[in-house]
């Protein structure tokens, strides 16, 4: 799940300077789950913008719409009627959704209402944690399903640094040492011997071979 949080209202109003007709466009998937940009959040933000418009003497005409996903063309097409006549779209999707929406309806201006944080999991009510940094070369099979790239403060590939103590990271006592977690998991699995393997540095330049990464499934293309 992509996790994000809403930008400050003043920052968003600054992005809307000179605009009148504003569409607040939500995304009903990832950012809805983390309570940052779903239908309820769209309604709340639209209400705040209308109130700010009245209180600050602005001239904003705010409308609302939520697509199931802003990262898929078929769902973006559901906004076709909503974007007509708009000066700007204030997108409550992640950064990918903002860019895809802007591409789909160019030259209409699209600005973000969300700061995209990370790919993570819901650990409890109102709490999300980063679990993946999308390195493009997954090593979870070697580390018991615990990612050292995302969950170690130094992204170490071959065991803990000298700063960890009592299972905690030197960066903060509330941060678990990822390599302690990996050791404990591999011990429980009876696979500690697998940690003796020396892992080579990540081929970051290969995984990002010029420009944005992409995946093409020829067997799925029409």
pLDDT digits (tens, 9 = 90+) for 188-205: 999 999 999 998 887 665
Query: For position 208, what pLDDT does the model report?
Result: 57
Query: For position 217, what pLDDT does the model report?
Result: 75
Across all residues in the chain, what is the average pLDDT? 92
Q: Which of 154, 149, 143 is nearest to 186 (CA)?
A: 143
More confident residue, 215 or 15: 15
Query: For position 191, what pLDDT does the model report?
Result: 94
How far CA 200 is from CA of 47, 139, 207, in Å, comes to 52, 11, 14
Domains of the chain as residue ranges with CATH: 2-118 (3.40.50.2300), 133-202 (no CATH)
Q: How far is the C-alpha of 94 from the C-alpha of 85, rounded, in Å?
A: 24
Taken in order 119, 122, 123, 126, is the CA torsion positive or negative? Answer: positive
pLDDT higher than 80, residue 81: yes
pLDDT higher than 70, residue 210: no
Proportion of the chain above pLDDT 70, given as a percent? 95
pLDDT digits (tens, 9 = 90+) for 3-38: 999 999 999 999 999 999 999 999 999 999 999 999
């Amino acid at each position: 799940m992509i996790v994000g949080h809403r930008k400050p209202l003043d920052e968003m109003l600054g992005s809307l300077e000179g605009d009148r007709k504003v569409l607040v466009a939500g995304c009903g998937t990832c950012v809805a789950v983390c309570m940052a940009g779903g239908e309820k959040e769209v309604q709340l933000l639209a209400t705040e913008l209308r109130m700010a418009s009245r209180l600050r003497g602005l001239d904003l005409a705010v409308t609302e719409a939520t697509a199931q996903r802003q990262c898929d063309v078929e769902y973006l097409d559901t906004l076709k009627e909503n974007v007509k006549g708009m000066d700007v779209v204030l997108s409550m999707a992640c950064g990918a959704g903002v860019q895809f929406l802007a591409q789909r309806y160019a030259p209409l201006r699209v600005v973000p209402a969300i700061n995209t944080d990370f790919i993570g999991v819901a650990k409890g009510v109102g709490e999300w944690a980063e679990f993946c940094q999308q390195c493009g070369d997954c090593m979870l099979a070697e580390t018991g399903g615990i990612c050292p790239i995302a969950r170690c403060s130094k992204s170490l590939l071959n065991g803990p640094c000298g700063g960890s103590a009592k299972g905690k990271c030197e960066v903060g006592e509330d941060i678990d040492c990822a390599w302690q977690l990996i050791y404990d998991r591999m011990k429980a699995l009876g696979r500690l011997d697998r940690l003796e393997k020396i892992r080579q540095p990540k081929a970051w330049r290969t995984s990002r071979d010029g420009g944005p990464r992409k995946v093409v499934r020829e067997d799925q293309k029409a």
